[in-house]
Structure 1
Amino acid sequence: MPTQRDFDKQYLSMNHFLADIEGRAFRMAQIATGNRDDALEIVQETMMKLVQKYSHHQATEWKGLFYSILNSRILDWHRRQSVRNRFRSWLNWSDDNNDEIEDALAQHPSNSNYEPDAKLQDAQFMTGLTTALGALPLRQQQVFLLRVWEGFDINDTAQIMQCSSSSVKTHYARALEKLREQLEDHQ
């Protein structure tokens, strides 16, 4: 039977895990939604769901579970947006509150030894990458971010996204091709 000490240890471990993952998850959600507030809400919902439903699982399982929940939340957001956009178009409403996408990727650590030209080139590349990632179809975007940013292998990515390994390979290859085309000026 678990003791209070076991619960405290699990609680601290979960807090550390969430603190470690929140920045990357936020960037993924922001790229997927193009909206800071929606991204924050999605990440918060994902964290709550993980704690409520899966905190009793082994800590080694949390990362895969977290990204599976995050992926579901992002897909749900896109479905809701699709319905809202349909209603707006039927009613001829416009969204006057189009927020600009912040450069979420530009928050990478900078090296003070860089020359100004190198810093400018890095900033331009990161802006281009953010734009190119945002333009990818959602499945390609999510596969790319899970594989490259989070380091999941093909099978784990397939499990998180609830699709086949061959589908992950296809989406990843297409994402790389499109990103290379979009970013060829930055080589």
Structure 2
Amino acid sequence: MKSAQEDAYLEFVTARAKALYRSAYALAAGDTHLAEDLVQETLSRVYVHWGRVAGANSPAAYAQTVLVRTFLSLRRRRSSGERPVGNMPDSPESGPDAALRLTLLEALGQLPPRDRAVLLLRYWEGHSIEETAQMLRLSSSAVRSQGTRALGRLRALLGDSLSDLVPQ
């Protein structure tokens, strides 16, 4: 890679790595190790195609698409359904926001990967239905219906537990 392209790539990584990690963390339902792996894989795939990506309208959107597709691909390939229990937080969190976040992440972890991806792209990242459809290679109507069903599943999982956590 040429020096100017390397500099542009490093600048991109510096600007977008935290946002990619936050998205990966939500997709991974709070699994920090999986989130770090997803970001690393995403950035390596973006690096390989940086010459083409840098000229695109939005390298950030490209990276987000790669992140979601990497996550979905990993979930399909995973041969073991083993999940760790008793997560130890990296740093102590306090306040009602932390309890709400942990409850939401736990509920998201119980949803199928594609449902998590739709909810993340639509409501966490704020992408339009059309952008989400393009990233997931679905039709707009499929994104709408899958989003509605995913929200319904999330509400069923959460029940009334959120009302205790949301400050009034």
Distance in 2 (CA, whole Å) between partners of 1:133 and 1:127 is 10
Asked if structure 1 preserves the Cα contact closer than 8 Å seen for 2:27 and 2:116, the reply is no
Task: Report the residue type matching 1:11 in the other structure.
Answer: Y
* Partner residue in 1 for 2:166: none
**1:100 corresponds to 2:75:** no
Percent of residue pairs bearing the same amino acid type:
29
Q: TM-score, normalised by structure 1?
A: 0.70
**Mean CA deviation greater in 62-71 or 155-164:** 62-71
**1:182 corresponds to 2:167:** no
Distance in 1 (CA, whole Å) between partners of 2:60 and 2:71 is 16
**1:19 corresponds to 2:4:** no
Distance in 1 (CA, whole Å) between partners of 2:48 and 2:6 is 16
* Partner residue in 2 for 1:92: none
Task: Report the residue type matching 1:178 in the other structure.
Answer: R
**1:45 corresponds to 2:47:** no
Distance in 2 (CA, whole Å) between partners of 1:45 and 1:163 is 23
* Partner residue in 1 for 2:32: 36
Distance in 1 (CA, whole Å) between partners of 2:31 and 2:38 is 11
Shift of 1:123: 3.2
RMSD over aligned CA atoms reads 3.0
**Mean CA deviation greater in 148-157 or 52-61:** 52-61
Shift of 1:134: 0.6
Asked if structure 2 preserves the Cα contact closer than 8 Å seen for 1:30 and 1:39, the reply is yes
Asked if structure 1 preserves the Cα contact closer than 8 Å seen for 2:23 and 2:120, the reply is no
Shift of 1:99: 2.2
5+ long unaligned stretches in structure 2:
164-168
- Over alpha carbons, which structure has the higher Rg? 1
Task: Report the residue type matching 1:70 in the other structure.
Answer: L
Look up the SS of the partner of 2:9 in the other structure.
Answer: helix
Task: Report the residue type matching 1:42 in the other structure.
Answer: L
Shift of 1:54: 3.3
When residues 132 and 53 of structure 1 are mapped into structure 2, their CA distance, relative to the original with a 3 A threshold, is: same
62, 69, 73: which is aligned to 2:70?
73
Shift of 1:49: 0.5
Q: What does 1:59-138 align with in structure 2 at a 5 Å threshold?
A: 60-81=57-78, 83-84=79-80, 98-100=83-85, 102=87, 119=95, 121-138=96-113
When residues 134 and 79 of structure 1 are mapped into structure 2, their CA distance, relative to the original with a 3 A threshold, is: same
Asked if structure 1 preserves the Cα contact closer than 8 Å seen for 2:20 and 2:64, the reply is no
Distance in 1 (CA, whole Å) between partners of 2:118 and 2:92 is 22
